[in-house]
Structure 1
Amino acid sequence: MLTSKQLHDIEKLQRECETYDQLQIKLNWEMLRNRDTDQLDYLHYENEELVAFLGLYAFGSTVEVCGMVKPSERRKSHFSRLFQQGMATVKQIGSKRILLNAPASSTEAKAFLTKNGAIYGFSEHQMKWNEKHLEEVHGFTLRLANTEDLEMRIRLDIEAFDLAREDAQAMESRIDGDADNNMFMIEVNEETVGKIRVKRENGEAWIYGFSILPTHQGKGIGRKVLKRVVKEQSESGHSVHLEVETLNEHALGLYQSIGFQVVHAQDYYTYN
Structure 2
Amino acid sequence: ERIFKLLDQKPSIVSPVEPVKVKEIKGNIKFNKVWFAYNDKNYVLKDISFKLETGQSVAFVGATGSGKTSIINLLNRFYDIQKGKIFLDDIDIKRFNLQYLRKHIGIVMQDVFLFSGTILDNIRLGNKDISLERVIEASKYVNAHKFIEKLPDKYNYEVKERGQVLSVGQRQLIAFARALVFNPEILLVLDEATSSIDSEIESLIQDALGKIMKNRTTIVIAHRLSTIRNVDKIIVLSHGRIVEKGTHKQLLKLRGIYYKLYKFQYQLQA
> Structure 2 length normalisation: TM-score?
0.30
Structure holding more strand per residue: 1
